[in-house]
């Protein structure tokens, strides 16, 4: 029974557990041996067995005295409350009783998403200190595990067990900024890292033109001016920033834990966000699942953690309301922002959302995160069904490509360069063409 | 050799000695002692606790057909030593000798008392063997049952102490009754 906890939910975490004593291992063994010998002595009339049972039962009667310790103080301290997938975190435990104890065994049991080292700490006394290494295997908000303390009384006649939940751990997906980041197609009229087509006050040389009144004299190209007999001026490209919105479709989550479509989507989305934030672009996020969540694009390293926190919620809330792009405010989807959508393209709602975004003249790149791993094909009918399913998915991809959406299979991604982020070709008749049929329609 | 290994070695030796003493005058096959001795080696493994009572059970089987009371008393004391040391050793991974001494010292008085009781019971059994049968027969039958009942009573009293304590306030007057008694001018 838990009596009280510290006010700080993170670290360190103190828990007081009231001990509920029960007969120990030694008590059960002495009872078994002594009781068996006494019973056989009674039924077989063997005084030798009674003599044999006498010391066992006497010790049992003397050592069965009630233990004095009543509570256990368990102090759990997590090295840090956040980590990245695969990066281990140390969990320290300090267990102390309020009275004398014969021995104290402390073990930790991990959750499926957090692997804990399997070792048991044993101390002959009322205090035990231990440390376990917790290696998270999947991003999300998880409880590290449970710590189990087993106490034995001084005379070893009684055992008690206390189970305490370890602190919560936030696991971020691993995100390393790509070495090369293609500029978004539409750049904003703000100073940024990307070279634009318009001339301005950048550092990228674009050409030479005749001097006009009002031009700064320091940009006069004297070599070219002496050859042309008139003042010539160096021209430089304007450097501007772009807007990138990462959209993660979490309506369906297919595949094994740790490698499901949402897992893959969130990991890749974190890489894209980190890469663009590293070059000082504005990055926002839309978690397009049962619960629609969004984050307004902005710059800075702190934005990465906001983006990841929003992505971590992609798997949590479940509602019966279909998400819709119409509910996303304009600030979260700025005009002309590059939309990178990670989706298995299974739900018509998600496909319609992609079309809707394209109709609003956003350059859109869709990453198809669904793979055929684990598909069990046994007979001819299965083969035929798989073939039809592939055709339907190809039709969906083709319908999106016809309206200028680039669809990239996740297997072809290269997180090192992000060259795949260049949007598709503009349709010949304008940004939007006629909308094809439903999900399975062929455009 | 670590302190835990030494403890386990002493426990195993005590168990084997107990089996040997039980087998000296036993009419059962010595194979019982060999089998129980081999099973007792499982206490060296962390998952081998299920066969921890192999030595006492083997001793009971052997002593059921034995005649020596003094050897039975010695076997009982040795089995007690084996059980206690094996139990402490199970929780002594990485423990130092000083820690083991501290863990075993509270158990010494009880162990000595158990040995004394074993000698007294053995002496009583030897004296009883020379007494008339009419006196001995009921004592042999009632003795073990009385000892077992006393132990179970002690065990039950300790395990249900909270229960008995909880019963105590119920014997007092309830709040309603007390108020009635006060109004009536009686005792409170």
Nearest to A134 by CA among A125, A119, A145, A126: A145
For residues A343 and A368, give the distance between their C-alpha atoms in angstroms, rounded to a whole number.
Answer: 5
Nearest to B151 by CA among A50, A253, A169: A50
- Given this model, what pLDDT does residue B163 score? 55
Say if A59 is an interface residue toward chain B (CB within 8 Å): yes
How confident is the model over A417-434, as pLDDT tens digits?
Answer: 777 777 666 655 544 444
Are A289 and A314 members of one domain? Answer: yes
Are A224 and A248 members of one domain? Answer: no
The CATH number of residue A347's host domain is 3.40.50
- Establish if A38 belongs to a structural domain: no
Please count the residue pairs, one from chain A and one from chain B, whose beta carbons lie less than 8 angstroms apart: 192
Are A294 and A208 members of one domain? Answer: no
Are A311 and A392 members of one domain? Answer: yes
Out of A240, A260, A291, pick the residue that ends a domain.
A240
For residues B104 and A156, give the distance between their C-alpha atoms in angstroms, rounded to a whole number.
Answer: 10
Residue in A124, A149, A150, A152 to test binding to B, most B beta-carbons within 10 Å: A124
CB < 8 Å from A in window 154-183 of B:
154-155, 158-159, 161
The CATH number of residue A90's host domain is 2.60.40.10
Here the tokens at position A54 are 């006498």
Residue keyed to tokens 């009982």: B76
Are A125 and A247 members of one domain? Answer: no
> What are the beta bridge partners of residue A129?
A94
How confident is the model over A372-416, as pLDDT tens digits?
Answer: 777 778 888 888 998 999 999 999 999 999 998 999 888 877 656
Given an 8 Å threshold on Cβ–Cβ distance, is B118 in contact with A55?
Answer: yes
Contacts B145 to A, Cβ<8 Å: 38, 42
Here the tokens at position A321 are 């309301």
The answer to whether residue A3 scores a pLDDT higher than 50 is no
Residue in B73, B151, B161 to test binding to A, most A beta-carbons within 10 Å: B151
Here the tokens at position A438 are 């439903």
Contacts A65 to B, Cβ<8 Å: 158
Instruction: Verify cis geometry, omega within 30 degrees of 0, for the bond prior to B172.
Output: no
- Establish if A177 belongs to a structural domain: no
Number of domains in chain A: 3
Residue keyed to tokens 């669809």: A407
- Given this model, what pLDDT does residue A424 score? 66
- Given this model, what pLDDT does residue A257 score? 82
What is the rounded end-to-end Cα distance, in angstroms, of chain B? 69
Given an 8 Å threshold on Cβ–Cβ distance, is B64 in contact with A40?
Answer: yes
Nearest to B115 by CA among A267, A435, A5, A54: A54
- Establish if A99 belongs to a structural domain: yes
Say if B114 is an interface residue toward chain A (CB within 8 Å): yes
Here the tokens at position A233 are 């001026």
Say if A25 is an interface residue toward chain B (CB within 8 Å): yes
Nearest to A168 by CA among A95, A107, A89: A89
Say if A39 is an interface residue toward chain B (CB within 8 Å): yes
Here the tokens at position A245 are 């919105």
For residues A30 and B2, give the distance between their C-alpha atoms in angstroms, rounded to a whole number.
Answer: 27
DSSP class per residue in chain B: --HHHHHHHHHHHHHHHHHHHHHHS--S-THHHHHHHHHHGGGGSTT-GGGTTHHHHHHHHHHTT---HHHHHHHHHHHHHHHHHHHHHHT-TT--HHHHHHHHGGGHHHHHHHHHHHHHHHHHHHHHHTS-HHHHHHHHHHHHHHHHHHHHHHHHHHHTHHHHHHHGGGGS--HHHHHHHHHTT---
- Given this model, what pLDDT does residue A319 score? 67
pLDDT band of residue B76 (cuts 50, 70, 90) is very high
* Minimal CA separation from A132 to chain B, in Å: 17
For residue A39, the SS3 value is helix
Are A209 and A334 members of one domain? Answer: no
What is chain B's length? 188
Mean pLDDT over each residue of chain B, to the nearest integer: 80
Are A284 and A344 members of one domain? Answer: yes
Out of A240, A256, A272, pick the residue that ends a domain.
A240
- Establish if A43 belongs to a structural domain: no
Are A119 and A161 members of one domain? Answer: yes
Q: Does the predicted interface ipTM exceed a cut of 0.85? A: no
For residues A338 and A242, give the distance between their C-alpha atoms in angstroms, rounded to a whole number.
Answer: 8
Mean pLDDT of B122-142: 78
- Establish if A194 belongs to a structural domain: no
Here the tokens at position A47 are 């005084």
Mean pLDDT of A96-121: 83
Are A316 and A290 members of one domain? Answer: yes
Residue keyed to tokens 């600030």: A331
The CA distances from residue B119 to A51, A123, A165, B70, in Å, are 8, 35, 50, 8
- Establish if A379 belongs to a structural domain: yes
**Torsion sign, CA atoms A80, A82, A83, A85:** positive
How confident is the model over A126-184, as pLDDT tens digits?
Answer: 888 888 888 888 888 888 888 888 899 988 888 898 899 888 888 998 888 887 888 88
Here the tokens at position B148 are 């077992």
Please give the residue that has the higher pLDDT: either B158 or A99: A99
Are A112 and A159 members of one domain? Answer: yes
How confident is the model over A310-348, as pLDDT tens digits?
Answer: 888 877 656 677 777 778 888 888 988 999 999 998 888
Are A333 and A219 members of one domain? Answer: no
Nearest to A32 by CA among B148, B42, B39, B53: B53
The answer to whether residue A109 scores a pLDDT higher than 90 is no
- Given this model, what pLDDT does residue A427 score? 58
Nearest to A18 by CA among A131, A149, A120: A149
Look up residue A220 and give its DSSP letter.
B
How confident is the model over A17-26, as pLDDT tens digits?
Answer: 988 888 888 9
For residues B82 and B7, give the distance between their C-alpha atoms in angstroms, rounded to a whole number.
Answer: 10
Are A324 and A347 members of one domain? Answer: yes
Q: Which of B79, B107, B117 sits opposite A156 (nearest CB)?
A: B107
- Establish if A426 belongs to a structural domain: no
CB-based contact A286:A332 (threshold 8 Å): yes
Contacts A126 to B, Cβ<8 Å: none
Q: Are strands A338-343 and A364-368 parallel, antiparallel or unpaired?
A: parallel
Mean pLDDT of A27-46: 87
- Establish if A334 belongs to a structural domain: yes
- Determine the structural domain holding residue A158 and report its residue range: 13-22+69-172
CB-based contact A288:A353 (threshold 8 Å): yes
For residue A275, the SS3 value is helix
Tell me what percent of chain A is helix, strand and coil, each rounded to the nearest 5: 30, 35, 40
- Given this model, what pLDDT does residue A343 score? 92
The answer to whether residue B58 scores a pLDDT higher than 70 is yes
The answer to whether residue A263 scores a pLDDT higher than 50 is yes
Tell me the whole-structure pTM to 2 decimals.
0.68
State which H helix or E strand residue A321 sits in: none
Look up residue A421 and give its DSSP letter.
G
- Given this model, what pLDDT does residue A251 score? 86
């Amino acid at each position: 029974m838990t009596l009280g906890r510290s006010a700080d939910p993170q670290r360190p975490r103190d828990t007081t557990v009231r001990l509920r004593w029960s007969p120990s291992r030694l008590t059960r063994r002495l009872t078994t041996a002594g009781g068996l010998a006494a019973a056989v002595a009674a039924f077989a009339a063997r005084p030798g067995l009674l003599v044999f049972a006498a010391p066992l039962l006497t010790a049992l009667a003397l050592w069965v005295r009630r233990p004095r310790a009543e509570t256990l103080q368990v102090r759990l301290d997590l090295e840090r409350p956040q980590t990245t997938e695969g990066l281990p975190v140390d969990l320290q435990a300090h267990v102390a009783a309020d009275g004398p104890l014969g021995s104290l065994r402390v073990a930790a049991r991990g959750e499926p998403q957090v692997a804990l080292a399997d070792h048991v700490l044993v101390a002959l006394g009322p205090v035990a200190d231990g440390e376990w290494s917790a290696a998270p295997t999947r991003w999300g908000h998880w409880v590290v595990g449970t710590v189990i303390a087993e106490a034995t009384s001084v005379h070893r006649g009684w055992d008690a067990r206390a189970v305490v939940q370890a602190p919560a751990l936030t696991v971020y997906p691993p995100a390393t900024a790509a070495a090369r980041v293609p500029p978004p197609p539409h750049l904003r009229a703000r100073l940024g890292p990307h070279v634009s087509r318009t001339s301005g006050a950048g550092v990228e040389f674009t050409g030479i033109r005749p001097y006009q009144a009002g031009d700064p004299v320091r940009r006069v190209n004297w070599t070219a001016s002496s050859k042309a007999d008139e003042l010539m001026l160096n021209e430089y490209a304007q450097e501007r920033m772009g807007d990138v919105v990462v959209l993660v479709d979490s309506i369906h989550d297919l595949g094994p834990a740790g490698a499901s479509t949402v897992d893959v989507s969130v990991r890749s989305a974190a890489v894209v966000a980190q890469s663009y934030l590293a070059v000082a672009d504005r990055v926002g996020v839309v978690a397009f699942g049962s619960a629609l969540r969004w984050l307004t694009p902005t710059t800075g390293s702190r934005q990465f953690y906001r983006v990841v926190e929003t992505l971590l919620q992609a798997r949590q809330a479940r509602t019966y309301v279909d998400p819709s792009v119409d509910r996303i405010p304009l600030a979260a989807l700025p005009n002309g922002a590059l939309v990178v959508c990670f989706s298995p393209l299974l739900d018509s709602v998600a496909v319609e959302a992609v079309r809707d975004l394209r109709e609003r003249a956003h350059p859109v790149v869709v990453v198809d995160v669904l793979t055929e791993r684990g598909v069990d094909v046994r007979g001819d009918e299965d083969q035929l069904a798989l073939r039809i399913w592939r055709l339907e998915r190809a039709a969906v991809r083709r319908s999106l490509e016809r309206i200028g959406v680039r669809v990239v299979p996740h297997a072809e991604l290269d997180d090192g360069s992000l060259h795949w982020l260049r949007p598709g070709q503009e349709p010949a008749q304008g940004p939007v063409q006629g909308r094809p049929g439903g999900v399975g329609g062929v455009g | 050799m670590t302190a835990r290994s030494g403890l386990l070695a002493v426990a195993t030796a005590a168990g084997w000695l107990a089996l040997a003493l039980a087998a000296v005058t036993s009419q059962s096959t010595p194979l019982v002692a060999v089998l129980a001795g081999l099973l007792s080696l499982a206490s060296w493994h962390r998952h081998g606790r299920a066969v921890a009572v192999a030595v006492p059970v083997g001793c009971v089987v052997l002593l059921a057909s034995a005649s020596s009371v003094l050897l039975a008393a010695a076997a009982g004391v040795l089995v007690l030593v084996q059980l206690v040391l094996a139990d402490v050793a199970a929780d002594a991974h990485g423990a130092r000798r000083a820690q083991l001494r501290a863990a075993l010292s509270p158990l010494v008085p009880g162990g000595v008392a158990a040995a004394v009781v074993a000698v007294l019971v053995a002496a009583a059994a030897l004296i009883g063997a020379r007494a008339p049968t009419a006196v001995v027969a009921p004592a042999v039958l009632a003795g073990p049952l009385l000892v077992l009942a006393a132990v179970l009573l002690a065990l039950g009293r300790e395990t249900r102490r909270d229960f008995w304590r909880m019963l105590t306030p119920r014997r007092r007057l309830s709040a309603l009754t007390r108020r009635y008694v006060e109004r009536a001018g009686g005792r409170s």
